[in-house]
């Protein structure tokens, strides 16, 4: 019985609209991230590198001096590098993705505000006009005749 209750609870949770929407968003977001990474690596950065002298940004790095304490006999020391070019590309990826998400959220917010705005209220009914002097007189005569 515990398994069936657990499975039923999980099914109810997984079939809620918010969970499914979130899962779709995560999958699309992952794919979108790959597209943006490709755009930055393959389209944006090569012309920038060409403009500044044929530099490949992935190759930009600062090599730290070899630590004499880590040198062993017969083993060639491997230099430690700070890869700031790769960091620049990743930062550009982030900025493009953040901008796209900002634009999408802004559009969605505008669309939901339009939906949430209440429809203009119907105009208030016109006030009943004051009866004329002739109508007042006729009403009084009617009331007097009723009383007799």
Residue 102, domain CATH: 1.10.1200.120
Q: Give the Cβ contact number of residue 39 at 10 Å.
A: 14
- The answer to the question of residue 41 being in a domain is yes
| CA–CA gap between residue 81 and residue 64 (Å, rounded) | 6
Burial code (b: 16+ CB inside 10 Å, e: under 16) for 84-111 equals ebeebbeebbeebbeeeeeeeeeeeeee
pTM over 0.75: no
pLDDT digits (tens, 9 = 90+) for 28-74: 888 888 888 888 888 888 888 888 888 777 888 999 888 777 777 77
> Tokens 């550009």 label which residue?
92
Residues β-bridged to residue 62: 82
Tell me if 91 is assigned to some domain. yes
Quote the number of domains for the chain: 1
Three-state secondary-structure class, residue 82: strand
Q: Is residue 140 part of a domain?
A: no
Q: Is residue 134 part of a domain?
A: no
Structural domain that includes position 111: 2-68+75-117
Check residue 22 and report its DSSP letter.
Answer: H
Q: Model confidence over 102-134: pLDDT tens digits? A: 888 888 888 888 766 666 677 778 888 888 888
Let me know if residue 46 belongs to a domain. yes
Sequence-separated (6 or more) residues with CB below 8 Å from residue 59: 85
Q: Is residue 86 part of a domain?
A: yes
What would the two tokens of residue 94 be? 């982030």
């Amino acid at each position: 019985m515990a398994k069936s209750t657990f499975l039923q609870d999980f099914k109810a949770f997984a079939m809620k609209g918010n969970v499914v929407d979130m899962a779709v968003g995560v999958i699309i977001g992952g794919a979108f991230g790959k597209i943006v990474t490709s755009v930055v690596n393959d389209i944006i950065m090569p012309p920038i590198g060409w403009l500044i002298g044929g530099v490949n940004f992935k190759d930009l790095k600062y090599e730290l001096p070899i630590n004499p304490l880590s040198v062993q006999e017969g083993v060639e020391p491997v230099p430690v590098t700070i890869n700031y070019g790769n960091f620049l590309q990743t930062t550009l990826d982030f900025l493009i993705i953040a901008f796209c998400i900002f634009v999408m959220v802004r559009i969605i917010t505008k669309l939901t505000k339009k939906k949430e705005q209440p429809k203009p209220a119907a105009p208030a009914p016109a006030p009943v006009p004051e009866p004329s002097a002739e109508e007042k007189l006729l009403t009084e005569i009617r009331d007097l005749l009723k009383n007799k």
